[in-house]
Chains A and B, each alone.
Chain A
Amino acid sequence: MAHIVSLREAIAKNVHDGDTLALEGFTHLIPFAAGHEVIRQQRRNLSLVRMTPDLIYDQMIGMGCAARLTFSWGGNPGAGSLYRFRDAIENDWPHPLQIEERSHADIASAYVAGAANLPFSVMRGYTGSDLPKYNERIRFITCPFTQERLAATPSIRPDVTVIHAQKADRQGNVLLWGILGVQKEAALAAQRVVVTVEEIVDDLRAPANACVLPEWLISAVSVVPGGAFPSYALGYYERDNRFYKAWNGIARDRDTFLAWMQRHVVQTSDFAEFRRTLKSGELQERHS
């Protein structure tokens, strides 16, 4: 059932205006190439979900793709702020962004509940925090057995989940390893699943308990070597910390950001061309 297609086709077929879209990957395996393709295809009015918006949602928010964001930690990991995310929340630029703010433990549990076909998640959380005062979807229930007070939050069930993984085989079975984040749960909670991979192999050679997503869960698989850059793929390439640091200088100013996105994402045809524009050294010369 998994179709091995170009990323352009995978996004065109599976991501529509107004969708609830989750691009997951906890620092590791962030699907940057897929996010860029969503920007190129000018998707609008998306409800984005991601534990850590990271640079990829900074880009999508700044380019006007998002109407709504569910998240739990919105910084540039190890390098500072997400200026486009902040500009949207602080100044409604490029337009107002509705936010639903939760904690990591909650979003992780909410994907588990979504994957398990449950309407809500139960956890020990949020006691003493102001978050429930500003997010009416964080509520508290009483355990019917022990009478304990527990937090209940709606499960997360994206229309589309997109992840990046190390390998697929020719049938489209997908193998990922290293820091796994919530990718398996986010995939199982979604109606449609798009996966980009580093490579296609004849045999995954996966150990018995490895994290393999069977091909019949997946709507489309696309081969995009380096598709998690500037995040990383364990066993393939490391996180590009220089890029993460340089991003502050690119994203702080609206015009600089827009010009960079035009030059490197909108006006490039795919991720390989995006990478070639960076190799020209522009990033380093201008921003570090």
Chain B
Amino acid sequence: MSAEAYSTSEMMTVAAARRLRDGATCFVGIGLPSTAANLARLTHAPRVSLIYESGTIGAKPSVLPLSIGDGELATTADTVVSTPEIFRYYLQGGRIDVGFLGAAQIDRFANINTTVIGPYRKPKTRLPGAGGAPEIAALAGEVLIIMQQTRRSLVQKLDFVTSAGFLDGGDARERAGLPGKGPVAVITDLCIFEPDPATRELMVASIHPGIERAAIEAATGWPVEYSSRVQATDPPNAQELSTLRELLLRTAAAHGSGAEN
């Protein structure tokens, strides 16, 4: 194919979708994770089972849901179970391979803040809060995080740890007794981070086409480390791009306004 123009946001979504393996059971957050997970389902992973915390199991939405409980998720699901059942039997029961999450902020050990900016009792900005994330981050077999990369979103120190990544690094996560493996990749619009096997600090593992190291460093709140085998991310192919664009167009038409992802 000829080199097609694409946005950094499209690169992020495509790179995140590629990390979801076919046949996995995936607990999906709304927004960017839902876009990437459905792109995976519509391209290389037709047998992925997408599970939303509204209790919809095996959802196959033709347009992206605006909310976590859109009717489209219920009517295209294999089954719909109650909220206690989805959290207690499916997530806590150990049935989820992958938790796919977004985040307002992360630190270099991939801990997530979705609660407050500033002090908890007198916040500068009150964010929505935990939702299902603390238990998804703890209990899913592994976690993928997708988010826009800025100095305000990748920070040296979180004001609040809502959901655990690798805590203080090293074997802190295992010592705390968290069953899941934790975050295996953070996919941004600039690059892909993966945790160092020993320190568990996020290292740049793959850089998206056309992105300079200086741009990654300028958009990261901690001193950036690079993997010794840092790769170049493959650009989106024609099928990935057209599938994503059609999905977003269908979504915009259905929701009566521009697609948000």
Contacts and interface: CB of A to CB of B under 8 A. Distances in A.
Interface of A: 26-28, 51-52, 71-75, 77-79, 81-82, 85-86, 89-90, 101-105, 108-109, 111-112, 123-131, 134, 148-149, 178-182, 184-185, 232, 234, 238-239, 241-242, 244-245
B126 A86 contact: yes
25 contacts: A73-B131, A75-B129, A77-B30, A77-B67, A78-B31, A82-B128, A90-B125, A103-B134, A104-B53, A104-B132, A108-B84, A108-B87, A123-B135, A124-B92, A124-B135, A124-B138, A125-B135, A128-B161, A128-B176, A128-B178, A130-B120, A179-B55, A185-B84, A234-B71, A241-B256
B253 interface: no
Contacts of A73: 128-132
Contact of B80 (A112, A148, A180): A180
A79 B66 contact: yes
B134 A182 contact: no
Question: From DSSP, what is the main secondary structure of chain B's interface residues?
Answer: loop
A105 B161 contact: no
Contacts of B255: 241
B131 A103 contact: yes
A89 B30 CA distance: 24
A179 B163 contact: no
Contact of B92 (A102, A105, A134, A181): A105
Interface of B: 30-31, 53-56, 65-71, 73-75, 80-84, 87-88, 91-92, 111, 115, 120-135, 138-139, 160-164, 167, 173, 176-179, 255-257, 260
Contact of B82 (A124, A149, A184, A232): A184
A121 B75 CA distance: 32
Contact of B130 (A86, A129, A148, A242): A129
Contacts of A180: 55, 80-83
B126 A112 contact: no
Nearest to A129: B134
Contacts of A130: 115, 120, 160-162
A180 B57 CA distance: 13
